[in-house]
Structure 1
Amino acid sequence: MSPRISPFRVAASAVALCGLLAGCAGTNAAGSGPDGGDNRFISGDGNVTEYKPSGRKSVQDVTGERLDGTAFKLSELKGKVVVVNFWASWCAPCRGEAPSLEQVHTENKAKGVDFVGVNFKDSKPNAQAFERKFKVTYPSLFDADGQVTLAFREVPPSAIPSTLVLDRQGRVAARVIGATTYSKLSPLVAKVVAEQ
């Protein structure tokens, strides 16, 4: 017997997914957005929100499958600063921010900072081609159905791309809605790394 899912939860999930799809319906050279069409990008403005420790929300219950097929649990990274980037191969601003994300990752991995991508509403071959093209060395979760993204509903990413910086307790310390840059992300990560 399958568990019953409340209509409210289904509706809330649908609204959250529609919001994310509205956040970035980017163009792709192959013309394959999330609905197979050639869509225009409507983005977040790169706005940064930082949260004081007393007001941070935990996102420990995130699980999923990496693009390589291996299982992932965010709780296994507790004790580390974690940067979570929501992206898709069909999203033009995601391509623009990829080198900056990789640079911040490279500069901070020895400091105990992990990066995790969440590949949203995409195909595995397109996502893997994106990672090869932009030389992304950190893992990404494959989120074709949006369920991984919904696990972040306490502090929703709200657009594709979006980036969250989690503190060592697995709480959201900062959020960037829209594409990020090296000069925006690096100081956010440094600030959370410096916390005791």
Structure 2
Amino acid sequence: MTTPGSRGAVLTTLVALAATLSLTACETGGPDGGTGRGGAVGADGVSTVPKGQRVLPGELKGETLDEKRLDIADSRGQIVVINVWGSWCPPCIAEAPHFVEVAKETEGKGVAFIGIDTRESGRIAPLAFQKDLGLPYPSLYDPTGRLILNGFPKGTLNPQTLPSTIFLDRDGKIAARALRAISADTLRKVIEPLLAEKRSGPDSQ
């Protein structure tokens, strides 16, 4: 039987183990196997889209792990970092501390971090993941992947693996995507130029 104390020790071991796997993905497969509309993959493995070629995602709203309603569209006007993860995925565990670090340092600076937890058989494991790793932001609960499929249609920079990270600009459009575990430095590298951009307008399409 795993006690709360031993669970923490197990988690620490998993984080250390996952760090050695941080450049791999737990699974592949998604709506589109390409780089997406206008996407160009950089040396850091992050695909980016020029401002004039970006598109809006589909509907990304639902219930969080904490059973609250959340609509990512409500964060328009901010840079939105969407991290797609699963509690069973070692690279997701490895990158989580980097997301915690950057989410805290950008709090109140026009950046919103939101998770999407997927491919889970229940809420117990992802809730423990969220608590034990100290995620300071909410995560939508998408156990079947339907939210991701509808929210990132074919031809967009959509999630292809776990973990995946999607960056939305101030207009709510898809600006970049990473299909691997990423570091705090990579997060900053993507976020900073997006913060420097001006919003096209509240009704931009």
Match of 1:183 in 2: 185
Deviation at 1:163, TM superposition (A): 0.4
Deviation at 1:85, TM superposition (A): 0.2
1:34-59 CA distance string (max 9 Å, x none): xxxxxx94579972111101111211
CA contact (8 A) 2:85 2:115 kept: yes
1:51-107 CA distance string (max 9 Å, x none): 101111211521111111111111111111100000000000000000001111111
Match of 2:79 in 1: 81
Match of 2:112 in 1: 114
Structure 1 segment 100-111 matched on structure 2, within 5 A: 100-111=98-109
Structure 1 segment 25-174 matched on structure 2, within 5 A: 41=26, 47-59=45-57, 61-122=59-120, 123-150=122-149, 151-153=151-153, 154-174=156-176
Write the distance in 2 (CA, Å) between the matches of 1:143 and 1:168.
24
Change (3 A) 1:84 1:163: same
CA contact (8 A) 2:26 2:163 kept: no
CA contact (8 A) 2:79 2:169 kept: yes
Write the distance in 2 (CA, Å) between the matches of 1:60 and 1:101.
24
CA contact (8 A) 1:82 1:113 kept: yes
Q: Give, as a single letter, the amino acid of the residue that structure 2 aligns with 1:77.
A: S
Structure 1's consecutive aligned runs of 4 or more residues displaced over 6 angstroms after TM superposition are: 43-46
Identity %: 33
**Runs of 5+ in structure 2 lacking a partner?**
1-13, 15-24, 30-42, 199-205
* Number of residue pairs matched by the alignment: 159
Write the distance in 2 (CA, Å) between the matches of 1:110 and 1:100.
18
Write the distance in 2 (CA, Å) between the matches of 1:42 and 1:144.
15
Write the distance in 1 (CA, Å) between the matches of 2:64 and 2:27.
27
Change (3 A) 1:179 1:46: farther
**Runs of 5+ in structure 1 lacking a partner?**
1-28, 30-39
Write the distance in 2 (CA, Å) between the matches of 1:180 and 1:167.
19
| TM-score normalised by L of structure 1 | 0.76
| TM-score normalised by L of structure 2 | 0.72
Secondary structure of the residue aligned to 1:117 is strand
Deviation at 1:155, TM superposition (A): 2.1
Change (3 A) 1:180 1:43: farther
